[in-house]
Structure 1
Amino acid sequence: MRELASAFNDKKAQIRVLIGERTRVLAVIAHDLRTYLARLRLRAEFIDDPDQQARAVRDIDEMTALINDTLLADRDSAPPSHPERVTVAQALAEIVDAHRELDEAVTLAPVPDDLAIAATPLSLHRILDNFIANGVRHGNAVAISAHATGETVDIVVEDDGPGVPVDGLASLGIPFQRFDPSRSRETGGAGLGLAIVRALAERDHAEVFFGQGAPGGLRVKIRYARVED
């Protein structure tokens, strides 16, 4: 049994190395492609047909977004983070209000006014936007809460969708790994969405945990360092 466990751990380590190498190679390619896409976008602005111009610009923007995602998934190519004191109640309220304006069923449990974390504001918004959008896409409603646990603060995003089997939770957040292989970019892209979210969180020294929600949906917990007044 001990030899089997050792072999299993070795295989996991090999997989991590292979994924890391693949991500770095793609990041190098993506960096060069981004320059050419920027030139193409400028040229697309001169297309006479408005409809064709809009389509060309949209396609280029989508390719650029995919490339930026690839670069961000490679931590060495990601821009530096700038964590600062963020009031949790205010930040969550702003994010939830933005989604409610889109008629999305997002609820926020009461959060103490003095609860604060160390985070990069834009990264926090992108992380939560991603999880909320994922929850709304695969379920009907999303519930958000936050509470302190000693020197840390847990922000929890839980949806009422079909969830993910226990044996599939470990693959969430791994670059280019998707629970549902049939997803397109609009519903999962190249498997980078959750990997980027995890990378953004880790750059702010936060942790992301995936689990099963009470009604069977997906439960995500983002743990940040708590900032005292």
Structure 2
Amino acid sequence: MSRVWTWMRSLTGQWIMLMLLALLVSQMVFYFIYRAEQARAVLELRRDEVVARAVSVASLVETVQPELYPEILRATNTGVVRFWLEGDDLSEETESWQQKAREQLLKSSRPPAASELVTDSKARWQTMTVENGVVVRMLNLKEWNGFGLVIPVNERLWLHTVYAKPQSVARPPWSYYLSLGITALLLTLVSVLVARRVGRPLQKLTASAESLGRGEEVEPLPEVGADDLRRTAAAFNRMQLRLRRFVEDRTRMMAAISHDLRTPITSMRLRAEFLEDAETREKFIASLDEMKAMTESTLAFARDESATESTRMVDLNALIESLCEDLGAMGWEVSFTPGPERVPWRCRPNALRRALRNVIENAVRYGGRAMVSLEMQIDGLDIVVEDEGPGISAEDRERVFDPFVRLEESRNRHTGGVGLGLSIARSILRSHGGDVRLDEGASGLRVCLHLPGVES
């Protein structure tokens, strides 16, 4: 059921549903119009036939003896047409005439239901002249799907006629359903072809936008198809080019500033060596060393950003395990709890290793040890790093992601670092479509590196 719903939400499914809905509505409108027109045409045809027949019966009655009248009426009456003779035209009393006509119809061999013969108080007689100058008075009975006629036979006798055939539900022939099915099939095929012609460029655009959002190198989209699709592809290509230029310019500027700052810092440090006051000299040199470390870290970050790493498929379990083993060989207390047997993921592995290394380094430095685990989630996966340190207060958990921010209580200057580790980690995770968040762990800080979706 979920697959059907997903298909109906797609461009092809919605296009087919709209086409079939339009076909259904048009056929329903056509059917009702056709049925009304057909009923009107049939009623007019039968009216002309009954009028001609009534005129013939009146002429016959006029030429025979009165004792033959009952036999003539018996021979001409049918299940839907009734004739009777009166000494008055009765047309002045419309409702009374309808009551008599109703009684005559109920005497027929196939009488209609009495509930269908409803008296119409708004019906009015109309006078018309037919062949041979015969004057006929006609009463339209819409509720009966029929009419009434009064024809003078002579000065003392009138022939009354009523026709009534309540409408039945007319079902279309099998050819109508066959034609409808063929039309629906052709519309479905055309909809699939059109939707695919429109959908394929959109799928490429979606995939390219997703890859671009994860920092991957994306080939320019082919500008083909309808004008709207070509303009969309061209706009995406221009946006991609502008983004690449913007990132390159920003990275180049950061590298230039960091590189240019190294010279004056070195010069100031040499001059600081000649300060006579030892305490002032040490503080001055310590501040300059800190500035130099910040500049070197920024320059290294800019170099890494400018380096283009290709995106490829890796096994996250293997990647994290190898990193933890390397750090453990350096004497760090790092443990890893793997996820499923194999977790394939398309990423830039060196960048992801750097982000995870920064987080593990912080956990070991400020919490004594790092416990790394891989947890599968509905919307992706989480690489969780927990420590046993003092943690970070809730109001500072977002602030520590700002560049060069260090908390005085637990992240002081003497423990090392310049405050770029978490900032770099978040930048790398966001370039992969994920994010980094800080939570309170069981015994310390819990850092969650979230990656959306698991690609195979």
Contact 1:81 1:204 in 2 (8 A): no
Q: Which residue of 2 aligns with 1:126?
A: 354
1:124-179 deviations in Å (ceiling 9; x for gaps): 11111111111111122211111221241110001011111111112121112222
Q: Which residue of 2 aligns with 1:183?
A: 412
1:36-63 deviations in Å (ceiling 9; x for gaps): 69xxxxxxxxxxxxxxxxxxxxxxxx98
Q: CA deviation at 1:111?
A: 1.8
Q: CA deviation at 1:116?
A: 2.3
Q: Which residue of 2 aligns with 1:207?
A: 435
Q: Which residue of 2 aligns with 1:86?
A: 314
Contact 2:314 2:346 in 1 (8 A): yes
* Structure 1: runs of 5+ lacking an equivalent: 1-22, 38-61
1:165-200 deviations in Å (ceiling 9; x for gaps): 11111212111222227733x735332221112112
Which of 395, 408, 416 is matched with 1:167 structurally?
395
TM-score normalised to the size of structure 1? 0.66
Q: Which residue of 2 aligns with 1:40?
A: none
Q: Which residue of 1 aligns with 2:124?
A: none
Contact 1:117 1:227 in 2 (8 A): yes
* Structure 2: runs of 5+ lacking an equivalent: 1-250, 265-289
Which of 214, 221, 229 is matched with 2:448 structurally?
221
Superposed counterparts of 1:28-43, under 5 Å: 29-33=257-261
Q: CA 1:228–1:194 in structure 2 vs 1: closer, same or farther (change >3 Å)?
A: closer
Larger Rg: 2
Q: Which has the higher contact order (CA 8 A, sep 6+)?
A: 1
Letter in 2 for 1:126: R
Q: Aligned equivalents of 2:433 and 2:293: distance in 1?
A: 25
Which of 142, 146, 164 is matched with 2:374 structurally?
146
Partner SS for 1:104: coil
Contact 1:157 1:219 in 2 (8 A): yes
The size of the alignment, in residue pairs, is 182
Q: CA deviation at 1:82?
A: 3.6
Q: CA deviation at 1:73?
A: 6.4
Q: Aligned equivalents of 1:160 and 1:210: distance in 2?
A: 14
1:97-134 deviations in Å (ceiling 9; x for gaps): 11111232211113212212232111111111111111
* 2:302 counterpart of 1:97: no
Contact 2:381 2:454 in 1 (8 A): no
Letter in 1 for 2:320: L
RMSD of equivalent CA atoms: 3.5
Letter in 2 for 1:152: G
Partner SS for 1:172: helix
1:15-43 deviations in Å (ceiling 9; x for gaps): xxxxxxxx998665225447x69xxxxxx
TM-score normalised to the size of structure 2? 0.35
